[in-house]
Amino acid sequence: MLCVAASVVCANAKILRVSNVNGSTAPYSSVTAALEAANNGDVIMVDASPDSYGNIEINKKVTLQGPGYWLIENGIHQEGFKTAEFGTINITAVGAKVSSVLAYSINPQADGCVVTRCKSETIGIASGVKGAIIHQNIVGGIGGGTNPRPTNIQITNNIIENETQNIRALVDSEIKYNTFKYSLWFWFLTGCVIENNLGVNETDKNNSIVNNMDKDWYASGKYVARIDTDYKKFDAIFSTNHGAFAGEDPYVISGIASGPYIEDITVPVSVEQGDDMKVTLKIGKSR
């Protein structure tokens, strides 16, 4: 597993594996312990688990990477644990990245943070943060602090599920190729470029609004989207040029991190002494 994972990261970066599953052979049982041992540029890989990893602070410029979510529901894994789950993740190091986890709340609190391929109730960007990237997530709402508001935030290729205040309090930011389950809620947005989204049905003099598509089909109840594969199917009915699954870097099902990953592994229960043990790996690849 670690050999496969190593091909996705920089050769100079260390991979620190974390698992809180009883009996695991992972070197670390908590993200906090892995962070203490990590250097800037390292990758902290968190195994799926039935138990939450709790609340954490990412205080170094590292990548926190999980296995994705809805892995069983989408047929990526046939059995095992569903995801790596967290409570609140606060990102306090400039340029740190969180990828492919499930969390109640992910909060960029430093410039240049990246939140990608995660599932979260909310992404809360602290006041004054600049240059954060919110990309390929499924999230309830994305909000910024108001004194001062975050600037130069890139919000692209996300599925956004809240009905009200789903994007709020941003300045001079990009909101492109997102799917809104309901409609974009214009709340304290100024100087933003809003393009190629599904679910933008109004104009606003404070922002540049170009080439979006209105819709009310999820809100009407005619199309019930429970997981991301539902959104992909229904979005394609209306447009292949708008929303989370369009553009040059579309939303990735189940939030699988880029590069190779193990879909399935078959290991014999036993072998005769002296015989080779034949292990079969099924490898998938995510863009």
Q: How confident is the model at residue 64 (pLDDT cuts 50, 70, 90)?
A: very high
- pLDDT tens digits along 111-145: 999 999 999 999 999 999 999 999 999 999 999 99
pLDDT in tens, 3-25: 444 444 445 689 999 999 999 99
Residue 65 has a pLDDT of 97
Two tokens, residue 219: 């809100």
Cα distance between residue 229 and residue 61, in whole Å: 32
For the cut 50, the answer to whether the pLDDT of residue 207 exceeds it is yes
Is 265 domain-assigned?
Answer: yes
Does residue 16 belong to any structural domain of this protein? no
User: What's the confidence (pLDDT) of residue 5?
Assistant: 43
Is residue 55 assigned to a domain?
no
Decide if 59 is inside a domain: no
Angstrom distances, CA of residue 113 to CA of 11, 40, 62, 124, 156 = 22, 13, 10, 12, 14
Note the pLDDT of residue 276. Answer: 77
Share of the chain above pLDDT 70, in %: 86
pLDDT score for 270: 65
Indicate whether 33 belongs to any domain.
Answer: no
216 in any annotated domain = yes
- How distant is the alpha carbon of residue 112 from its chain centre? 16
Specify the number of domains making up the chain: 1
Note whether residue 181 is domain-resident.
yes
Tokens of 284: 């998938």
Contact 137, 100 (CB under 8 A): no
Domain that holds residue 272: 66-286
Residue 216 predicted with pLDDT over 90: no
